[in-house]
Amino acid sequence: MAHPRNVLLGAQGAAGLLPVCDHYSGVEARMVKSLQLQAEMMEEFGACVFDVTLDCEDGAPVGGEVDHANMVVALANTAQAAPDLIANVVPRRVGARLHAVDHPAFASDVQIVLGGAAKALSYIMVPKVESIADVERAVAAIDAAAWGVRSTPVPLHVLIESPAAVQQAFEIAAHPRVESISFGLMDFVSSHGGAIPASAMGVRAAGDMDSFDQFHHPLVLRAKTDISSACHAYGKVPSHCVVTEFKDTAILQRAARMASQALGYTRMWSIHPDQIRPILEAFSPSTEEVEQASDIVLQAQKQEWAPIAVRGKLHDRASYRYFWQVLERAHQTGRNMPNAVQAYFSAPVH
């Protein structure tokens, strides 16, 4: 019997299947702890519920970029070779953020990181992408360094951080090698030369109806929705910016819910281990949503995807597609699902 992903999503079936949380670490001790936590949560959830991005940009000390890149290579390779993980069944996901393409350290980053760990990396993040030309330059360098090392191209994640780059979001999202686009909030605000207040880099307190925070300043909000729309237009993953108030769980949860439910983001950055579980919770479907989606998809498959009525409502392939994606998100976030549905994610897709 055909797998629901093939029936309902077709050629788009492989798009958008990234963990909802992207956790960044730039200091060696924190990188090690992040990778340990990833392994622990893989065992807990039976899925890789968050990516670990090893950071060569903000993490590297000025003048120490080469040593830092070599450390990232060692950690990535060690993580993928770690014994006693369920990674034999569930692939472990580790990526690396390099310097921007116009930074003096970009070339050495590419040669060291891709030359030494291309097989171990699930993706490469390139920051400060301004145009499709930057994407092409990054792809050419990455492919040259990884040539002969791995059989598949390295997916590219890009970070958009300026008003000019936001204008190019649709063209960037259309590039076949771009898998995900992230929004760089703080650089975006700073690039306006004081025209956007500092409050737009944060999240306003509950009950504050006046401050122009990142979810209420019109220019910031437009940039976020432009990036999200561009990604969805081309089957790519929009990744929401970091929340710097990492000790305030309530603020993080509000921000994550707004990003996922109002702005269409399907992924979000974490910069502290305490942010990972709240992001997973905010991006997860509820128990009721999982139950409803399971019921509809299972009934639809029994009817060979013909229209059905469930609780007095008509459903067809358009709604089946939506409810299947609810189940995929449930799997990505480690939600419990009925055994009949869980089997969809245990068997290979044909």
In this predicted model, what pLDDT tens digit does every residue of 254-276 receive, in sequence order? 999 999 999 999 999 999 999 99
As annotated, the binding site for substrate includes: 97, 161
243 in the same domain as 208: yes
30 in the same domain as 134: yes
Tally the domains of the chain: 2
CA distances from 175 to 14, 19, 84, 132, 228 (A): 16, 21, 38, 8, 15
274 in the same domain as 302: no
**Residue 16 falls within a domain, yes or no?**
no
222 in the same domain as 302: no
As annotated, the binding site includes: 97, 161, 187
**Residue 5 falls within a domain, yes or no?**
no
**Residue 35 falls within a domain, yes or no?**
yes
Q: What is d(CA 23, CA 39) in angstroms, rounded to the nearest whole number?
A: 13
Per-residue pLDDT reduced to its tens digit, 184-240: 999 999 999 999 999 999 999 888 899 999 999 999 999 999 999 999 999 999 999
**Residue 1 falls within a domain, yes or no?**
no
Res. 13: pLDDT tops 60: no
pTM over 0.95: no
As annotated, the binding site for Mg(2+) includes: 161, 187
95 in the same domain as 171: yes
For range 329-350, the mean pLDDT: 82
Give how far the C-alpha of residue 210 lies from the chain's centroid of Cα atoms, to the nearest Å: 31
153 in the same domain as 255: yes
122 in the same domain as 58: yes
Q: What is the CATH number of the domain that holds 123?
A: 3.20.20.60
- Residue 319 domain boundaries: 287-343
90 in the same domain as 139: yes
Q: Which amino acid is located at 250 in the chain?
A: A
pLDDT at 344: 86
**Residue 8 falls within a domain, yes or no?**
no
